[in-house]
Structure 1
């Protein structure tokens, strides 16, 4: 595993100011210990659909699991199911079961509970670092660096300055701009209006946590990446259909992640997303998170329920 300084150099540095601590560390992923292997998490950002953000639940569950293992093991995979709608009005309790503690691998089961019922279940596997002569990875796509792209806020402001923008879109963009989302995003290859009609179910964007996390605990960077991984992910399956249909209901069913190499979640990383299939009111999405130096840091997959209605429907 790379040293913190070597990793920082490889990823291109660019630390945020140290006094601007990431809210993901100070608040969102800072769980309250209630008893042994029992934690309480609170909410920071709730999407407009008034459901708990899935990335928050995944990230908090991984924090709880990571607190039950020793410092010399790190998460390499997790597999989750969302089983009930989360209530944004009450905290979430996380119950950790120490399923197995082995010499090289350890497994933890986490159940997220509200109102006495599970809303989410997760299995996380941790491994001690082990060298291996068997190594390979795909190649990172060639894209413009984040410094050459507009940020989310700047992009919205650019649209809002357009005098020909329809009022219904202006209202929606203002709502998006008002959200206090704790991550930064820069879209790659922003489509034109004509390209929207024939989009592939693929997208890429640079992403990082807002604020400073530091080289510190790799476990926390993995938890932050778990939070980030769910943002705009399932929407990839809608890209070819967005002009014909509008979302009536969309929610994650499951979420899986595999961690390959150390990374800094407060440095820019390229998130490559693609949806190989949609049907049966479900969509499947695959994702890869790349460090700036071309190292594949993480892979993930998600399936979700997608119900739409025609754009001209009055229902």
Structure 2
């Protein structure tokens, strides 16, 4: 990855310090590490595969952004990406990433990335990069007031708590054990975790603290954006089902497109608040929007995604 010293994230503003130890994040050393094959041609391999046995969309987005970032100079940073998932990814074979240098301008540069498996594109992406340009026109929403991550249970502890609940319905046991066995390279702490012993429909909103496992460091802002791209797709589309989760059983849920806008420097290996909401669903599609906040209240990243969601007709989870 290219280094970008002029866009380093302010260490003291984020708070929390570095994770203990000097273990390099597996997201950097493995998941987002691409093998160069030729100029603007890279090969990516897989780390974590969801239970659907499809490639994790966040991995493809993150790897594609890594490939695009390798084709731009050090003094510009990623400001947005827009991508489409066009075919299901095969976790049994690597992904080839082909980069096209669409435009290299004075202020803005655009790169097109095509991810290929079995000779066919599975994913296409446009990434735009900008040279830093200060402006007096500035504003942002206010960060929601939530408990700090130190006061909340992480995903693993939360699942252990669910599994110890004597009132837990048997139908959840298999799924929870399967989730607990996953080696996901990110840490998650939900703000208001659902109560599985008393299922209820929820508002189409959720928030959780999230960060990459391990240490990334502050020197390479482009890599933090790539890690945020990976993180942003985890549990994002599931926000759509919060008002319907107990009435319908999901048969098929997959991302159609994904967009991100990077506003200001941040550390993806420090806790960030991921605020997700779904303003609309219908016609077998659902829209989600998200905001990644730094701990100091600065809005770092905005995200949007639409996905296909199909449920089993006439099947209520309460009857399973």
TM-score of the pair, normalised by structure 2: 0.95
Please say if residues 287 and 306 of structure 2, whose CA atoms lie closer than 8 Å, have aligned partners that are also in contact.
yes
CA contact 1:224–1:265 (8 Å) conserved in 2:
yes
**Residue-by-residue CA offset, 1:139-160 (whole Å, 9 max, x unaligned):** 0000000000000011011111
Match status 1:25 vs 2:28 = yes
Match of 1:201 in 2: 204
| Residue 14 in structure 1 maps to residue 9 in structure 2 | no
CA contact (8 A) 1:74 1:128 kept: yes
1:121-177 Cα offsets, whole Å, 9 max, x none, are 000000000000000000000000000000001101111112332333222111100
Q: 1:261 to 1:151 in 2, by over 3 A?
A: same
Q: Judge conservation of contact 2:252–2:311 (CA < 8 Å) in 1.
A: yes
Coordinate RMSD, CA, aligned: 1.8
| Structure 1: runs of 5+ lacking an equivalent | none
Give the SS at the match of 1:34: strand
Deviations 1:216-265 (A, max 9, x none): 20000000000000000000000000000011000000000000000000
CA–CA distance in structure 1, aligned partners of residues 23 and 122 of structure 2: 33
**Equivalent of 1:275 in 245, 266, 278:** 278
The aligned residue for residue 191 of structure 1 is 194
Look up the match of 2:77: 74
1:148 aligns with 2:166: no
Which has the higher mean CA deviation after the structures are superposed, 184-193 or 69-78? 184-193
- Please state whether the residue corresponding to 2:78 is helix, strand or coil: strand
Give the structure-1-normalised TM-score: 0.96
Does 2:120 match 1:114? Answer: no
Q: 1:138 to 1:267 in 2, by over 3 A?
A: same
1:47 equivalent in structure 2: 50
CA distance in 2, matches of 1:14, 1:149: 18
Instruction: Choose from 137, 149, 152 the match for 1:134.
Output: 137
CA drift at 1:189:
1.9
1:84 aligns with 2:87: yes
Number of residue equivalences: 314
Instruction: Give 4+ residue runs of structure 1 displaced > 6 Å after superposition.
Output: none
**Aligned equivalents of 1:257 and 1:312: distance in 2?**
33
In structure 2, relative to structure 1, the CA distance for the partners of 1:145 and 1:239 (3 Å cut) is same
Alpha-carbon offset, residue 197 of structure 1 = 2.4
What CA distance in whole angstroms lies between the structure 2 residues aligned with 1:52 and 1:227? 12
Report SS of the residue matched to 1:245.
Answer: coil
In the alignment, structure 1 residue 182 sits paired with structure 2 residue 188: no
Quick one: structure 1 residues 128 and 22, their matched pair in 2 at CA, closer, same or farther if it must change by over 3 Å? same
Shift of 1:8: 1.5
Q: Is residue 311 from structure 1 mapped to residue 302 from structure 2 by the alignment? A: no
Structure 2 match to 1:297: 300
Whole-Å separation in 1 of the counterparts to 2:123 and 2:319:
34
CA contact (8 A) 1:2 1:262 kept: no
Q: 1:96 to 1:189 in 2, by over 3 A?
A: same
Aligned equivalents of 1:255, 1:196: Cα separation in 2: 30
